[in-house]
Amino acid sequence: MKIQHLIWKEMRKRPTPMITSLLAVTLGVMALVAIQNIAVFSQKKIAGDMESLGANVLVLPPNASLQDYYAADMHGETMPEEFVTRLAFARLPGVENLAPKLCVETSASGQDVVVTGILPRSEYQAKSAWQGLGMFASDVGSDRGCCSTTATSLAGSDDPNSLATERTIQDLGAREVILGSLAAEKLSAKVGDELPLLGGDFNVLAVLPEAGTVDDSRVFAHLHSVQELAETGPVVNVIEIVACCEDAAGSLISNLSAELPETKIVTISQVVQTQLAVNTLMSRLSWVFFSILLLVGASSIASVMFANVTERRQEIGTLMALGASRSFVTRLFLGKAVVLGVVGGIAGYAGGTVLAIILGPRLLSVSVQPLPMLLVTSLVAATLVAVMASFLPARRAAGLDPCLVFNDA
Amino acid sequence: MYQLNEVTQTYHCRGKIVTALNSIDISIEDNEFLAIVGPSGSGKTTLLSVLGGMLKPEHGEVLFDGDSLYDLPLARRAQLRGTKIGFVFQTFNLVPWLTALENVQIPMMLGGFSSKQQIARASELLERVGLHDRIDHHPGELSQGQQQRVALARTLANDPQVILADEPTGNLDHETRHQVMEYLAEFHRDGRTIILVTHDADTAAFANRTLRLVHGAPHSNEALHAA
């Protein structure tokens, strides 16, 4: 027999008061785990949404008026392509990707189409002045939200289809085009076909899957080919920036404005800010609930433990008469507190996770998975609270006069 | 074994001072069977507490095997109780949610014995007190006499030199009382010192010396021989 056996058997003997305390601790942990879990996955969802949205900051010529965020390159105003170089050199924190575009309306195979000039990533790498910047794979921005996801996904994509989601493509030849799904249908073109455009012949490199955006009706060609064939000179209509959502909501816009004062910066920062604020609020609220409920749990544990000490006075006195030291008696009660904390932590984690999995999709349309890190937090916090709440009762038990075991003492 | 020099202990009760032990000097030898008798409030239990290292007297000195008991630190005194001093209580003081076997294991658990050693020794002791068929029973499932026998087995767990018994037969019927006293007499014959507090003359008759306390002081000392 060991002290653990003594603790466990006593708890089994008197489960009712323990269940009350356990419930309070479990509820506190549940609240924390559920809200934190939903907040984390909501954050990830925002990141995913931002990623699928593509660019979240647009750099436009000063006279451009923006009617449609997704057709920001159709205003007809231009600005020098050199602005892209300036932005790249500025190495602003939060900038994950730059995608300059030039749009030209033309006809092909008797159909009106919009040809969009884009700059492939290989183009950046070819320019020695930009080499070594490491901007696309660097750990820019914070480690939360969309930044890490986006940076990782951009690091090695060379599939032409990446244009649909990442706004960039690794390679695109001077006489190659990528067709949006609707454009391909309209032009009756498929991969490998020859397509006459702007007076030049282009080979169809890929057909993008349907995205439900204006990109579906676009024909994408190399920026410099479009500039050359449309005789526009080295200009672009828009520079799309894929930015970290936190930075897009923060200092990035003012940094961009400072870097390119002669342009207009448009962002969806308000959306980002609102979503981030909700997440932050939820996260903070979860700690408030957690603290309140744990305080209630701690009070309950302390009260139950004091009652337990009173109830077990004779047993404690007997143990002392039989040779138990004060430290043994203290450990007897703190051990019980550890059991309460561990069981409460695990039960709260399990309950909170289940609650998050049920409520996440219903309240915020967020799909939630268990977060093992929260188990560690739950266990540590619940155990710490239970032990602290039991400290005084344990000290009181250890200070009992062993003479109380005698008949008329 | 014990030497008490001018031991005094008083209690404050509702503004009055009650003298439990009044400057007593007594000596208790090894392998003695001593019965402490006297009316209620005469200081019997206080004396037992002092001898058990659980109550430091206000004045005086308590020597145990030549060492001043109350000059030892608390932890050392607890250790002494776990190794050299055994207790028997009137109300048995068994832990109700532990089985008879587990109750007997307690002193050995406190002494750091392995579970295997605890079980072997506890089984042997329960067999000695005739309860080998009750080892898995909880105290509530045992008669008063059986509970006291479990308590006796528990007392012997760490093979103490001295057994301090506080009214060990107070809650027992005549027959069981005799049986328990026979066990204590047997433990005495094993070489242990038995110090017994009792109101009952028949129980005291098992001792070979009786110390009568009145108002915290020895009234008379008479030698009796076990029946």
- Closest residue on chain B to A12 (Cα): B97
B227 Cα to chain A: minimum distance (Å) = 26
Closest CA relative to residue B35, chosen from B194, B143, B152, B196: B196
Sheet holding B2-13, edge to edge: B16-28, B2-13, B59-64, B67-68
pLDDT band at A49 (very low <50, low <70, confident <90, very high): low
Q: Does A129 have pLDDT greater than 80?
A: no
Using an 8 Å CB-CB cutoff, list residues of chain B that contact chain A: 40-41, 45-46, 48-49, 52, 54-55, 74-75, 78-79, 81-83, 87, 89-91, 93, 95-98, 102, 105-107, 109-111, 115, 118, 154, 158, 166-167, 170
pLDDT band at A131 (very low <50, low <70, confident <90, very high): very low
Q: Phi and psi dihedrals of B63, rounded to 5?
A: -100, 130
Residue B67, domain member (yes or no): no
pLDDT cut 90: percent of chain A above it: 22
* pLDDT tens series, chain B, 227 aa: 899 999 998 888 778 888 888 889 999 999 999 999 988 888 888 899 999 988 889 999 999 988 898 999 888 888 889 899 998 888 888 999 899 999 999 999 998 899 999 999 999 999 988 888 999 999 999 998 899 889 999 998 988 999 999 888 887 888 888 888 988 999 999 899 999 998 888 888 899 999 998 888 888 654 444 33
Residue B193, domain member (yes or no): yes
Residue B59, domain member (yes or no): no
pLDDT of B102 reads 95
- The percent of chain B in helix, strand and coil, each rounded to the nearest 5, is 35, 30, 35
Q: What is the CATH number of the domain that holds B191?
A: 3.40.50.300
- Closest residue on chain B to A323 (Cα): B82
In tens, the pLDDT along A369-404 reads 899 999 998 999 899 999 999 999 999 999 887 777
A203 at B interface, C-beta within 8 A:
no
Residues B95, A315: C-beta atoms closer than 8 Å: yes
- Closest residue on chain B to A11 (Cα): B97
Which residues 287-346 of A have a C-beta within 8 angstroms of B? 314-315, 317-328
Residue B50, domain member (yes or no): yes
Could you list the residue range(s) of the whole structural domain that residue B177 is in?
29-54+74-222
Residue B176, domain member (yes or no): yes
B159 Cα to chain A: minimum distance (Å) = 12
Alpha-carbon distance of A22 to A17, in angstroms, equals 9
A398 Cα to chain B: minimum distance (Å) = 12
Residue B105, domain member (yes or no): yes
pLDDT of A125 reads 57
A201 at B interface, C-beta within 8 A:
no
- The tally of domains found in chain B comes to 1
pLDDT of A336 reads 92
pLDDT band at A150 (very low <50, low <70, confident <90, very high): very low
Q: Does A193 have pLDDT greater than 70?
A: yes
Alpha-carbon distance of A338 to A331, in angstroms, equals 10
Domain spans, chain A: 3-46+276-405, 57-267
| Contacting residues of B for A322, CB less than 8 Å apart | 81-82, 87, 106-107, 110, 154
Residue B22, domain member (yes or no): no
Using CA atoms, how far residue B127 sits from B121, B190, B191, B223, in Å, is 10, 17, 20, 33
Residue B120, domain member (yes or no): yes
A402 at B interface, C-beta within 8 A:
yes
